[in-house]
């Protein structure tokens, strides 16, 4: 049976305990009554003692009944001092009036630490917003209560996180905090877990919500990015100019080669090609009507006209 799932209402338990005690006390008084001659029946001293003892026991007994909530451990105190006894989840019973149970939360808790300051290996200040998840180790709940009570966040966790952050970031340069973020978080978690374990606290996770640098460093980084962009743009412009120059050179070489070829052709052939080209253009423009008078065949030139002797 899982006692952690049993619902216990202490006022209800006390009510039924007192009801049963009153019933037993009344029964004891009724059973031990004595009738004297000429008077009403009265309970005997023995009956009164039994009734008082039952009522006292009925009032004291429920004080030792309780329940440890799920996700917690109960530290038993005897007259205010820890006994070393740790109660698990569910019902418990301790010595009434002498012992009490203090419940320690063992669930995962998360605290946020804003602008934890550190210095990188290149002496650049860095600020980190951290979220730390932790829990009280159940088997060491007594140690946590004895040494820290419930102030473990202020007394241990915050100082440990700040110190671990400074120790970790001091191993890296500022740009590496971005490029090696996973590695840095792993080292930070290992270092912090060792620090908290000494106090009975377990570390579950460490996350960085934001990493900030100084204004001067951010401005320098912005200027560097702008300079890189200008350099890339200049390189692209240089490549474009080189390509356009190569095109101009190729075009000039082609023109020179064309002129060289033209010079190698005889002049008579060039004149004849031009005459044929002019005749071809004239034929393309002819509307199909012959002229009224001509000395040769139209559009064919004088060389093809009728010969006259």
Rounded Cα gap, residues 201 and 134, in angstroms = 7
**Alpha-carbon torsion angle 113, 114, 115, 119, nearest 10:** 20
Rounded Cα gap, residues 258 and 247, in angstroms = 17
Per DSSP, the three-state class of 203 is strand
Nearest to 194 by CA among 186, 185, 205, 203: 203
Mean pLDDT over 181-192 rounds to: 91
Rounded Cα gap, residues 283 and 237, in angstroms = 51
Question: Out of 119-123, 131-135, 221-225, 232-236, which region has the weakest mean confidence (pLDDT)?
Answer: 221-225
Average of per-residue pLDDT values in the chain: 80
Residue corresponding to tokens 């060792």 = 194
The pLDDT value recorded for residue 2 is: 41
pLDDT band per the 50, 70, 90 thresholds, residue 161: very high
Rounded Cα gap, residues 91 and 69, in angstroms = 9
CATH number belonging to domain 109-213: 3.30.479.30
The pLDDT value recorded for residue 297 is: 54
Q: What is the CA radius of gyration of the chain?
A: 52
Model pLDDT for residues 14-50, shown as the tens digit of each residue: 777 778 888 888 887 777 776 655 556 677 777 788 8
Mean pLDDT over 152-174 rounds to: 91
Angle 247-253-255 (CA atoms, 0-180°, nearest 5)?
A: 105
Model pLDDT for residues 95-131, shown as the tens digit of each residue: 888 899 999 999 999 999 888 888 888 888 888 899 9
Q: Is the pLDDT of residue 4 over 50?
A: no
Residue corresponding to tokens 């190698």 = 264
Rounded Cα gap, residues 75 and 105, in angstroms = 11
The pLDDT value recorded for residue 132 is: 93
Per DSSP, the three-state class of 40 is coil
How many CA atoms, within 13 angstroms, populate the side-chain half-sphere of residue 249? 6
Domain map (residue ranges) of the chain: 3-105, 109-213, 230-278
pLDDT band per the 50, 70, 90 thresholds, residue 188: very high
Distances (CA, A) of 69 to 88, 93, 135: 9, 14, 16
Rounded Cα gap, residues 284 and 251, in angstroms = 32
Please check whether residue 113 is in contact with residue 107, taking contact to mean a CB–CB distance below 8 angstroms.
Answer: no
Q: Is the pLDDT of residue 5 over 50?
A: no
The pLDDT value recorded for residue 103 is: 92
For every residue of 68-131, DSSP letters joined together read EPTTEEEEEEETTEEEEEEE-SEEEE--TTTEEEEEEE-S-EEEEEEEEEEE-TTS-EEEEEEE
Q: Is the pLDDT of residue 140 over 60?
A: yes
pLDDT band per the 50, 70, 90 thresholds, residue 10: low
Q: Is the pLDDT of residue 233 over 70?
A: yes
Q: Is the pLDDT of residue 189 over 90?
A: yes
Tell me the helix, strand and coil percentages in the chain, rounded to 5.
Answer: 55, 20, 25
More confident residue, 308 or 252: 252
Most confident of 204-213, 214-223, 257-266: 204-213
């Amino acid at each position: 049976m899982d006692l952690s799932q049993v619902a216990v209402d202490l006022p209800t338990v006390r009510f039924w305990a007192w009801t049963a005690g009153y019933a037993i006390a009344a029964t004891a008084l009724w059973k031990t009554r004595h009738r004297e001659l000429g008077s009403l029946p009265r309970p005997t001293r023995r009956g009164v003692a039994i009734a008082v003892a039952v009522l006292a026991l009925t009032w004291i007994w429920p004080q030792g009944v309780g329940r440890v909530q799920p996700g917690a451990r109960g530290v038993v105190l005897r007259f205010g001092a820890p006994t070393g006894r740790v109660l698990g989840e569910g019902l418990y019973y301790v010595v009434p009036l002498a012992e009490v149970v203090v419940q320690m939360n063992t669930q995962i808790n998360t605290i946020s630490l804003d602008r934890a300051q550190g210095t990188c290996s290149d002496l650049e200040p860095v600020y980190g917003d951290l979220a730390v998840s932790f829990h009280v180790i159940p088997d060491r709940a007594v140690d946590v209560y004895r040494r820290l009570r419930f102030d473990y966040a202020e007394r241990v966790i915050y100082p440990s996180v700040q110190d671990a952050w400074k120790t970790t970031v001091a191993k890296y340069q500022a740009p590496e905090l971005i490029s090696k973020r996973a590695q840095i978080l792993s080292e930070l978690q290992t270092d912090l877990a060792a620090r908290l374990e000494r106090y009975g606290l377990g570390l579950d996770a460490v996350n960085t919500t934001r990493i900030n640098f100084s204004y001067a460093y951010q401005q320098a980084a912005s200027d560097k990015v702008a300079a890189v962009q200008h350099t890339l743009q200049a390189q692209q412009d240089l490549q474009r100019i080189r390509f356009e120059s190569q095109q101009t050179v190729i075009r000039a070489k082609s023109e020179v080669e064309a002129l060289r070829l033209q010079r190698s052709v005889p002049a008579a052939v060039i004149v004849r090609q031009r005459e044929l080209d002019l005749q071809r253009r004239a034929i393309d423009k002819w509307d199909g009507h012959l002229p009224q008078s001509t000395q040769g065949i139209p559009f064919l030139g004088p060389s093809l006209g009728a010969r006259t002797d």
